[in-house]
Structure formats: structure tokens, C-alpha cells
Amino acid sequence: MSDERYTASRTALRTAGIMLVFTLVFTALMAATYRLTAPSIAEAVQTHKMRLIHDILPPGSYDNDLLADVVELGPAPELGLVRGGQVYRARQGGAPAALVLDVVAPDGYAGRVALAVAVGIEGRVSGVRVTEHAETPGLGDYIDPAKDRNRESPWIDQFEGASFAGTPPSDWRVTKDGGAFDYHVGATISARAVIEATRRALHWATTHREALFDAPAGARLQLE
């Protein structure tokens, strides 16, 4: 019986040793892979961000390094940011030109819709793009220009140039509700969510414009 126990103990120890070696080797390989791929992944993320920003903020409208001129936000309920987000600051010749905000519409048909909203210094929306959504394919996903069947005039482009001077806050609704913005029949909820989130972003950006541009790059702000 003692021999059987000894053999079982040796087998268990050997198995544990093999598993430990396997775990250490696997961890080392994963760490090495991460170190090798992290720079390219970071570069891809930055490239994607700039491509998105170029869609809503023409390159000729600013001359600073947008990805370096960023402030971090704490939780911002008006922007739908539960855990906070980022604001990119565009400048022309050192003067404030526009803000690009992370925004979330929590009330899309299928849940949250993440947006990037650009607001010019004069209080006009330069552009809006959906960065994340789960809206119904072929129905509510037209809020994303990549999914909109109208390639020449995507639905989301109607925000370009929108302002409270031209469109009072009370008119930031779909035409079905008496507002100024078009929508696709059968997919009103998605449009309502994006319109309301954009309206709130415009109001928030114009309200906090000075504080956002005055803050040092990399600062974390908590603005009400």
C-alpha cells in the first residue's frame, strides 16, 4: 500500500511540475507576443482614430497634433460617459478651432451607441460618426454611414453645420415628432438616440469650451 501511495505521489508531483513548466512557458510566450505586437496595435488604433477624426473634422481646419492635444474626462452624464472619456482639441495657429468629443447615446434600439462628435469653436457641429453600436442590420444601422445604403448622402451627414442658432434645441427631434431631422421609417428609435446625444454634446461643448481649451494636455477634468 505504501508503494502505491509513493507511486501516486510521484505521479502527482510530476504532473504538477509539467503543468507549472507549461504555464511558465505559455506566460512567457504571451508576454513576448504582447511586447512584439503592442506597438503595431497602438499604431493601428491611432491610425483608426485619425481616420475617424478626418471624417468629421477636415485636416485643413487645424494644424496641431490632435492625438497629443487631449484632455481626459471623468464621468460626464450629459455625454453619456459613465466612466469618462476623451476630448481632442483642434487648434489653428495656436487658436482654438474645434473639439472632438467621445459621446454615448444609452438609449439606442439595441442598447448603447458610441459616437464621436466634432463641434467648431463657433458653435456648429462639424460632423458626427458612430464608433460602436448594435443596431439591427438593415434597419437601424443606417446611423452608421458604412451601413447606410444611401452612399451619396448618408443619414448622419445632416448634422454637418447644425447649430442652436439655426436649429433651436426644441427642434432637435425627428420630423415625426415635429423636429428638424429626417429618419428612416421603421427605425425611429436609433435616430432619436443619436439626435438627442448630439444635441447634448453640442450644448456641453459650448458650455465648457473655455475650460476644455485652457486645460493642460493630458489633464483629467471633472466638469458638471
DSSP code string of 52-80: HHHHHS-GGG--S-TTTSEEEE--BGGGT
Q: In this predicted structure, what is the pLDDT of residue 58?
A: 84
Judge contact between 71 and 215, C-beta under 8 A: yes
Residues in Cβ contact with 142 at an 8 Å cutoff, skipping those fewer than 6 apart: 148, 149, 150, 154, 155, 184, 187, 190
- pLDDT one-digit tens code per residue, 89-138: 999 999 999 999 999 999 998 999 999 999 999 999 999 999 989 888 88
Q: What gap in Å lies between CA 147 and CA 138, rounded to an integer?
A: 8
**Average pLDDT value for the chain:** 87
Query: In this structure, how many other beta carbons lie within 10 angstroms of the beta carbon of residue 39?
Result: 9
Domain ranges across the chain: 1-56, 59-221
Residue 38 scores a pLDDT above 80:
no
Q: Is the model more confident about 35 or about 144?
A: 144
Cell triple for 208: 465648457
